Amino acid sequence: MNTANSPLWMNRRKTLPAQTANRPALSFSRLNNLRRFSPFSPPGHARLPSAGKTLKTIPTRVTACPEVVHMAVPLILASGSAIRADLLRRAGLDFTIQVPRVDEDTVRRSLEASQATARDIADALAEMKARRIADKNPAGMVLGCDQVLDLGGAILAKPESPEQAVEQLTAMQGRPHQLLSAAVLYEDARPVWRHVGVVRMQMRALSPGFIKGYVARNWDSVRHSVGAYKLEEEGVRLFSKIDGDVFSILGMPLIEFLNYLDTRGLLDT
């Protein structure tokens, strides 16, 4: 069975689809309507929003800064996340953005009620986003992504208020949790590749006063982040150990996605 066609909870095997004939390489250009900034820029410099925060203005064409990789098959990012768009742009990929309309909270609650795991939930939401856009663009390649936080089996969403952010951080302090970043690629209106990146995070023991102060100082930024923190900002102080890939923390298993494009002959390496 092709794992790309089957959700992760139906088939756990990690296999790549058969390689196809080489295709012309891809390329990038500048991202209109999105500032140039580093995910880890120093204080006083612009920083990226979280993976969940959407662009206020969605450009129709996103181009890159280094050498651009033009794909024979158009690539569409099915996400309004500014940080995911910037990751692809900086990697040199030429792509467009279309934001899918998906009621993530309702889908997540339904999957939780059916006792789906955090990994399955992230994968299902990523596929749902990709499929929604692929149905309208059957001739293109569509990349859908989602990120889920698993705290001992409990799924945490973005905080809806400062009070909820304090509650989430209080529950996480002194404990480990996992960030799961899923990506599913559709081509010709069917899934051809999928991956879930897992990052293990150990949060320090934090005092109630520090947690409240942290949320008060950072609410405008962390309100859009799963778990109420952003590692590229003051949130890095919350952790004593991190085991995993930085791109998965930022919301996309980028290395694995580029590896897949390379196996397809779509990257000039």
Q: Is 262 annotated as catalytic?
A: no
8 Å CB contact between 268 and 69: yes
110-121 burial, b at 16+ Cβ within 10 Å, e below that, comes to ebeeeebbbbbb
Cβ atoms within 10 A of the Cβ of 240, count? 12
8 Å CB contact between 216 and 242: no
User: What is the distance, to the nearest Å, from the Cα of residue 266 to the centroid of all Cα atoms in its chain?
Assistant: 22
Q: How many helices (H) and strands (E) does the chain have?
A: 7, 7
- Tell me the two tokens of residue 147: 């990120």
8 Å CB contact between 231 and 249: yes
| Separation of alpha carbons 127 and 4, rounded Å | 10
SS3 state at 191: strand
- Tell me the two tokens of residue 55: 């662009």
Q: Which of 94, 146, 150, 245 is catalytic?
A: 146
Indicate the residue type of 15. Answer: T
- 195 - beta bridge partners? 183
With a CB cutoff of 8 Å and minimum separation 6, the contacts of 207 are none
Cβ atoms within 10 A of the Cβ of 19, count? 10
8 Å CB contact between 122 and 146: yes
Catalytic center residues: 146
